[in-house]
């Protein structure tokens, strides 16, 4: 099982969109996947079409990680039913540890080592997923550091703009410092350039700058700005299930990115080290 945190220290770059895009690709590929929604806004939970059904949100599991079993509180994404209706297969797995505002109590800068282990404790013992995607809040407070402690890799999301590129560089430094102090086996899974406008001279310049700064960590392909992405998320649809050429093209890009992310995670973090 590979645990990957999707992070950015700058808001508004489409971090949750990347999380759901990768989840859509994993569902299409038949990879059993769990999405952990650590962002108190819970946008990933909304986009994944979850219903609480009396289950505990992720904050309640973090409060008593040794007593609340995650396997009893995850919920199915509504995408699974839709995928089964489309291709006739019912065995695909996309579960969600859904988020909520209660998790904000942990999003503070002063968490100790014991608190940073809470998510790792929640995830202990589950073995029915090949991939866990953790959607982090856009900050380096407690929830993000809790996610990094539980993760094998950190996937960064950036827009090709000055402030976002600078924020990505800060995040890379933060990962290095966090790795030295708390998580020696943690490493970047790469950087996804999101919301790219091919016609923009500024975006082309910043993409070239990112290639110079981050080298092979900048993953290909980049994700272009998709005009109806908010409509797709608002309808709680996977991009792989949305009609139209633009959605199909974007889905194919996420298929390629998922291969890159999973490949890097497996190469740099073999099972025997967990």
- Give the DSSP per-residue string, 58-90: HHHHHHSTTTS-GGGT-EE-HHHHHHHHHHS--
Q: How much is the average pLDDT of 237-266?
A: 89
Q: How confident is the model at residue 267 (pLDDT cuts 50, 70, 90)?
A: low
Q: How confident is the model at residue 85 (pLDDT cuts 50, 70, 90)?
A: low
CB atoms within 10 A of CB 194: 22
Backbone angles phi, psi at 185, to 5 degrees: -100, 0
Q: How much is the average pLDDT of 62-83?
A: 89
What is the rounded distance in angstroms from the CA atom of residue 208 to the CA atom of residue 236? 34
Q: How confident is the model at residue 270 (pLDDT cuts 50, 70, 90)?
A: very low
Is residue 96's pLDDT more than 60? Answer: yes
Classify residue 114 by burial, with Cβ atoms within 10 Å: 0-12, 13-18, 19+. exposed
Q: How much is the average pLDDT of 26-42?
A: 95
Lowest mean pLDDT among 43-57, 102-116, 178-192, 252-266: 252-266
Is residue 88's pLDDT more than 70? Answer: no
- pLDDT, residue 11, reads 85
Q: Is 246 left (phi over 0), alpha (psi -120 to 50) or beta?
A: alpha
- pLDDT, residue 127, reads 86
- List the strands of the sheet with 75-76, edge to edge: 75-76, 94-97, 33-37, 131-135, 2-7, 153-158, 187-193
Per the CB < 8 A criterion, the answer to whether 137 and 40 are in contact is yes
What is the rounded distance in angstroms from the CA atom of residue 68 to the CA atom of residue 209? 46
- pLDDT, residue 86, reads 58
Q: How confident is the model at residue 255 (pLDDT cuts 50, 70, 90)?
A: very high
Of 148, 156, 92, 155, the C-alpha closest to 123 is 148
Q: Which residue has the higher pLDDT, 18 or 87?
A: 18
Q: How much is the average pLDDT of 248-266?
A: 88
Q: How confident is the model at residue 10 (pLDDT cuts 50, 70, 90)?
A: confident
Which residues share a beta bridge with 157?
192
- pLDDT, residue 268, reads 46
């Amino acid at each position: 099982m590979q645990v990957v945190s999707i992070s950015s220290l700058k808001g508004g770059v489409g971090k949750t969109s990347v999380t759901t895009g990768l989840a859509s690709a994993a569902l299409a590929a038949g990879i059993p996947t769990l999405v952990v929604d650590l962002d108190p806004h819970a946008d990933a939970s909304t986009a994944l079409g979850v219903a609480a059904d009396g289950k505990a949100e992720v904050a309640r599991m973090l409060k008593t990680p040794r007593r609340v079993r995650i396997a009893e509180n995850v919920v199915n994404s509504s995408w699974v039913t839709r995928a089964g209706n489309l291709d006739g297969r019912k065995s695909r797995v996309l579960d969600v540890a859904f988020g909520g505002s209660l998790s904000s109590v942990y999003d503070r800068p002063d968490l100790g080592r014991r608190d940073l282990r809470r998510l790792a404790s929640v995830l202990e013992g589950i073995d029915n997923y090949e991939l866990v995607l953790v959607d982090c809040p856009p900050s380096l407070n407690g929830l993000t550091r809790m996610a990094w402690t539980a993760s094998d890799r950190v996937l960064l999301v950036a827009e090709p703009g000055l402030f976002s590129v600078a924020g990505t560089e800060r995040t890379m430094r933060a990962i290095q410092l966090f790795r030295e102090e708390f998580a020696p086996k943690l490493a970047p899974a790469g950087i996804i350039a999101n919301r790219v406008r091919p016609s923009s001279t500024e975006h082309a310049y910043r993409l070239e700058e990112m290639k110079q700064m981050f080298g092979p960590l900048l993953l290909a392909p980049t994700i272009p700005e998709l005009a109806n992405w908010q409509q797709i998320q608002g309808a709680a649809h996977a991009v792989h299930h949305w009609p139209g050429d633009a959605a199909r093209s974007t889905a194919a890009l996420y298929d390629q990115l998922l291969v890159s992310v999973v490949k890097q995670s497996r190469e740099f973090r073999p099972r025997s080290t967990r």
